[in-house]
Amino acid sequence: MPINIYQTQTILAALPLMRNKPTFLRDRYFPTSDSDIFVTEDVLVEYMDEAKRVLAPVVVPLRGGIPVGRSGYHTERFTPPYVAPERPLTVDDLNKKQFGETLFSQRTPAAREGAILNKDITDLNEMIDGREEFMAGRTLFDNGYQMKAYADSYGGDKYEEFRIQFYDGETNPAVYMPAAPWSRTCTTISRDLFLMAKMLKDRGLNAADVLFGDEVSDVIINNEYIQKLMDNRRLDLIQLNPVEYPNGVTCFGRINCNGVVLTLFCYSEKYVDEKGKTETFVPAGKVCVTAPGVGRTLYGAVTQMEQSDNDFHTYSARRVPHIVADVKSSVRTLTMKARPLTMPNYLNSSITATVLF
């Protein structure tokens, strides 16, 4: 019996075998485990105030034990944003020469159909990867994110605001204010990074990475004070050896800030927003001090009606395909659905600063 490639279960089984777009921020700082994929539309967000640092009490012999308190944590119930790019397949698409085919290709529309489906699944999946990377970047730099949920066309006038923040009040408390703007003659870069890391260390949290964009990388690599530190061979405070990683990531090396060793990452990957404007995942002129695995990416379940039995089905997965065929119009539409939500493990676990004005 031939396999129906348009069944949801068939595509779900094939998705783990397909190429995924690497996403540096999501993969390094917000990984996903099996327990992060929920069976309900809503997800449970839990993050702790700070790491445990209380010493165990010393007790008089034969006294038994002394009660100690538990660390505080926040629990909230969120409905993740509904991400659903779709792409129709028409008879005209099947009759057109596809990318890479010869000008006088003898390929039949039926033979072309499977290749187009594979390309569409890959494209839509990568679009969702980009949205998750956007959410990861905003969680790191803004301690939350705001997006527009569109009702008709992407970038249209009908939308609802979708906002999630991981702090109380109007202003983000995980922000450091530098004493002076960073420049090529600035002498406080190392101290600013140390104080940002100290804001985490004082709460028992880890500080290991520094994230920034191209503008900040130019200042760091050409800073006069940092270059002098590199010339001092008896005091090994900085090691700069820029190495380019795939997909817009450059590891500049490490800097020792009063004993706190931080790895410097420049992330210059870009995306195109709903207005067609090119933006960077890392906000211009900002830096962030954080650590790998600082949070998680949660996924809510997706419920949809299947055309095969006209019944509702609920899927717990990172991606859920949905294919609907309109026989009268000869159009088959593929929608790739997801309900992702990036969250920190601890309150204010990434410290950000605006260093270029």
Condensed to tens digits (0 to 9), the pLDDT of residues 160-193 reads 888 899 988 889 999 999 989 999 899 899 999 9
- Given a cut of 60, whether residue 341 has pLDDT beyond it is yes
- Given a cut of 80, whether residue 354 has pLDDT beyond it is yes
Mean local confidence (pLDDT), 52-58:
75
Percent of the chain with pLDDT strictly greater than 70 = 90
Mean local confidence (pLDDT), 322-342:
91
Q: What is the pLDDT of residues 123-136, one digit of tens each?
A: 999 999 999 999 99
User: Could you give the 3-state DSSP secondary structure of residue 181?
Assistant: coil
- Given a cut of 90, whether residue 49 has pLDDT beyond it is no
Q: How far is CA 312 from CA 212, 302, 303, 340, in A?
A: 45, 10, 7, 21
Identify the pLDDT of residue 1.
45
Task: Return the H-helix or E-strand segment holding 76.
Answer: strand 73-78
Identify the pLDDT of residue 178.
93
For the chain, give the mean pLDDT: 87
Of the two residues 108 and 176, the one the predictor is more confident about is 176
**Closest of 246, 295, 254, 326 to residue 86, by C-alpha:** 326
* Cβ atoms of residues 327 and 64 within 8 Å: no
Q: What is the pLDDT of residues 208-225, one digit of tens each?
A: 999 999 999 999 989 998
Identify the pLDDT of residue 205.
92
Percent of the chain with pLDDT strictly greater than 90 = 50
